Amino acid sequence: QGDLKHWPFKVINHADKPKIQVQYKGEVKRFAPEEISSMVLTKMKQTAEAFLGTSIQDAVITVPAYFNDSQRQATKDAGAIAGINVLRIINEPTAAALAYGLDKGLTGERTVLIFDLGGGTFDVSILTI
């Protein structure tokens, strides 16, 4: 709550949900958090499509490990607004471990322990990959 005074926009209560209120081209606009996230995802999708030279429909999206179920659902909703079929939502430490293992050429199933000590949090995941 203390950070609100530093933000260049207002956060308002609209039907018991937070909305971000901004001035854009002389008009007041209000956006739900999912809409803001969808704008970011839309731009990421466009950038990936330009780089890959193909259209993208499906994606796996990472979220911080501390996200609760409603935050994860809001992220899925943002993906849908952006025109993305969200296949799965996974924790960032899990994604890092999966990315690390992709180029190792390992075969067979392994159980791994992942420590994520970043961003003021300490997350631990145990995976079988």
Which tokens hold the place of 52?
């890959």
| Predicted local distance difference test score (pLDDT) of residue 97 | 78
Residue 101 has pLDDT above 80, yes or no: no
pLDDT tens profile 47-93: 999 999 999 999 999 998 889 999 999 999 999 999 999 999 998 88
What CATH code is assigned to 1-31? 3.30.30.30
Counted residue by residue, the chain has a size of 129
Residue 21 has pLDDT above 80, yes or no: yes
pLDDT tens profile 25-53: 999 999 999 999 999 999 999 999 999 99
Instruction: State the CB neighbour count (10 A cutoff) for residue 38.
Output: 22
Q: Which fold has domain 32-128?
A: Nucleotidyltransferase; domain 5 (3.30.420)
Choose between 52 and 116: higher pLDDT.
52
| Predicted local distance difference test score (pLDDT) of residue 122 | 80
Per domain, the residue ranges of the chain are: 1-31, 32-128
| Predicted local distance difference test score (pLDDT) of residue 56 | 95
Residue 105 has pLDDT above 80, yes or no: no
- Euclidean distance between CA atoms 120 and 49, whole angstroms: 33
Q: What share of the chain is helix, strand, coil (3-state, %, to 5)?
A: 40, 35, 30
pTM for the model stands at: 0.78
| Predicted local distance difference test score (pLDDT) of residue 107 | 80
| Predicted local distance difference test score (pLDDT) of residue 57 | 96
Which tokens hold the place of 38?
């969808």
Ranked by mean pLDDT, the top range of 2-6, 63-67, 84-88, 116-120 is 84-88
